[in-house]
Amino acid sequence: MNRIHSQDDWIARARAVLPAGGFGNFDPGVVIARGQGSRIWDEDGREYVDYLIGSGPMLLGHGHPEVLEAVLEQLPNGLTFFANNAKGIELAEAIVEAVPCCEQVRFVGSGGEADMYALRLARAYTGKSKILKFEGGYHGMSAEAQMSLAPSRQVNFPTPVPDSAGIPQGVADEMLIAPFNDLDAVAGLLDEHTDVAAIIVEPLQRIIPAQPGFLQGLRDLCDRHGLLLIFDEIVTGFRLAYGGAQERYGVVPDICTLGKIIGGGFPLAALGASAEIMAHFDKAIVGADKWLMQLGTLSGNPVAAAAGLKTMEILRRSQQYERLRQLGQTLMKMQSSALSDQGISHRICGDPTLFDVYFTTQHPTDYRNARHSHPRFGEVWNSALRGQGVFKSPGKMYPSLSLTTADLDQTEQAFLVAAQAVAQVSSTA
């Protein structure tokens, strides 16, 4: 007889075998049992409208029937080969056709891995060592990426602050940190440091939009100083537009990284650039000294490639991105109306395809001012939303194309309840 375990049972079991009781990604106090379309259910059967969607990859929702069909068609033919396969080659072709900077791509297993290799590729191509990143920018879990990701103390730019133990000082010595949306600061750093290989940037930094001219300004500075511009499009790729931020904003980097959506819910990521830059993955072209070694057991595996190909095919259909943006705009207006009706100061920040609310009177432009004036308001807001069956990250809402009118109605009601909860806390603050 099978015993049905409660969520508390699973949480207790997790605490025994997992550090901090979880996978390190999300609140370990919730254990998800299943997902379907726009909805998920926890192990106690509680149902939620899902605005986390796996931290972004499930743009079509959970268990899309066409994606499942593509995966099931591939499964009997093999799960992975550690060798070239037709599905992976087809996916590479689709990415090259869609993404402006990509003439060639190399597959890896995760977005963080793609970012790590992008930095290494920039160093190999330029022969320079330093990397400039922006405070608060997220680029995975490599030592370089863990510099000034979420620093708890403010230091003078360009000094990096490590966000993790176990990172040697030598990594910090090769990193320059700048404030997002500040072209003058970047220009000053590049005038002072001649050994910069690349600037890496999220075109939409977490949910903070680049100000008009900022991304083109970075492009111009990189051209002027002979370094590479890397767009981390792990999140924005195939979300802001089919061609990602490059299509949306009209600025083409030298290298980009892609993940999440291109795997259709399976582990898969990639980096892409011109054939000239990507030649560093080919020893026969560049020689042993300039060759960049890259291996990955599951890189380009056919199951993930099949899921990604079908996802991208669906996204190419008429009006998909128009609908996604309309859904996001509706949700943004709902949020703002609920809070305005309660007299709560706030700013909706981001793009209709990815956004959230800050409880502040400031316009968020960088890591240091993109925060709640009263952190307790954010905690109450997110807690109240979950209590009303709306599941989201503490700092993001990911709309998906699976959202229904019933989902929007439930979410609107949840916003009203959450705004009232914030107003009650605000009255005593």
Is a pLDDT exceeding 50 seen at residue 49? Answer: yes
Q: How far apart are CA 315 and CA 241, in angstroms?
A: 9
| pLDDT number for residue 410 | 98
Give residue 24's identity as a one-letter amino acid code.
G
| pLDDT number for residue 1 | 35
Is a pLDDT exceeding 70 seen at residue 390? Answer: yes
Q: How far apart are CA 392 and CA 381, in angstroms?
A: 11
- 232 is annotated as an active-site residue: yes
List 87, 130, 133, 260, catalytic entry: 260
* pLDDT classification of 4: cutoffs 50, 70, 90: confident
CA dihedral defined by 316, 318, 324, 326, rounded to 10 degrees? 160
* pLDDT classification of 354: cutoffs 50, 70, 90: very high
Nearest to 384 by CA among 349, 330, 343, 425: 425
| pLDDT number for residue 402 | 98
| pLDDT number for residue 428 | 81
| Percent of the chain clearing pLDDT 90 (strictly above) | 97
Mean per-residue pLDDT, 25-39:
96
| Angle of the 86-98 helix axis to the 302-315 helix axis, nearest 10 | 40
* pLDDT, tens digit, 9 for 90 and up, residues 393-412: 999 999 999 999 999 999 99
Kind and range of the H or E run holding 412: helix 405-428
* pLDDT classification of 429: cutoffs 50, 70, 90: low
Domains, the chain, ordered by start = 31-63+319-428 (3.90.1150.10), 65-315 (3.40.640.10)
* pLDDT, tens digit, 9 for 90 and up, residues 103-123: 999 999 999 999 999 999 999
| pLDDT number for residue 3 | 58
* pLDDT classification of 427: cutoffs 50, 70, 90: confident
Question: Can you count the helices (H) and strands (E) in the chain?
Answer: 14, 15
Strand arrangement, sheet containing 32-36:
32-36, 39-42, 47-50, 390-391
Query: CA Rg, the chain, in Å?
Result: 22
CB atoms closer than 10 angstroms to residue 152: 6
CB atoms closer than 10 angstroms to residue 124: 19
| Angle of the 65-74 helix axis to the 302-315 helix axis, nearest 10 | 150
* pLDDT, tens digit, 9 for 90 and up, residues 197-223: 999 999 999 999 999 999 999 999 999
List 232, 254, 356, 366, catalytic entry: 232
Mean per-residue pLDDT, 320-346:
98
- 133 is annotated as an active-site residue: no
| Contact in structure between 31 and 42 (CB atoms under 8 Å) | yes
Is a pLDDT exceeding 70 seen at residue 56? Answer: yes
Going through 89-189 in order, the beta strands assigned E by DSSP cover 104-108, 130-134, 175-178
Mean per-residue pLDDT, 271-279:
98
**Mean residue pLDDT across the chain:** 96
* pLDDT, tens digit, 9 for 90 and up, residues 139-150: 999 999 999 999
* pLDDT, tens digit, 9 for 90 and up, residues 232-272: 999 999 999 999 999 999 999 999 999 999 999 999 999 99
Give residue 10's identity as a one-letter amino acid code.
W
Mean per-residue pLDDT, 174-181:
98
Distance of CA 388 to the CA centre of its chain: 26
